[in-house]
Amino acid sequence: MIEIISESKCIECNQCVNVCPTNVFDRVENGIPLIARQSDCQTCFMCELYCPVDALYVAPDSEAVIHISEEEIEQQGLLGGYREKVGWGRGRTPVSSHEYMYQLSVKTRF
């Protein structure tokens, strides 16, 4: 579930509020979005992917809140990892065009 919106990183663009399919966040006047309905989070990672500054962290567990802190996430280098793999963001190439996509299909018929 969504665990963290980093106060130091968030630029208040509210993109996560827009894209969350289950409407977990609330806009806040002159502030960073609020995780208002955490239990509605379906752990789809879309908010992380659309965040332009890697300010969000979604923990893999879809049932329980794990209460991880921003410091722990920073230390483990977990912020922005998914966006990087999908290849979104300035100077990156979308993973969709990765040569392995083709090789995987040829070798495994996925």
Q: Which residues of the shown chain bind another protein in the complex (CB under 8 A)? A: 17-23, 27, 37, 40, 42-46, 49-50, 59-63, 78, 81-82, 85-86, 88, 93-105, 107-108, 110
Question: Cβ of residue 89: shortest distance to another protein, in angstroms?
Answer: 12
Q: Which of 57, 110, 103 is nearest to 83 (CA)?
A: 57
d(CA 51, CA 69) in angstroms, rounded, equals 19
Shorter beta-carbon distance to another protein: residue 30 or 110: 110
Cβ-Cβ contacts under 8 Å for 64 (sequence gap 6 or more): 1
Question: Cβ of residue 106: shortest distance to another protein, in angstroms?
Answer: 8
Cα dist from 76 to 16, 56, 79, 107, whole Å: 23, 14, 9, 34
Shorter beta-carbon distance to another protein: residue 28 or 101: 101
Question: Cβ of residue 48: shortest distance to another protein, in angstroms?
Answer: 9
Shorter beta-carbon distance to another protein: residue 11 or 18: 18
Contact status, residue 20 vs residue 45, Cβ threshold 8 Å: no
Shorter beta-carbon distance to another protein: residue 9 or 43: 43
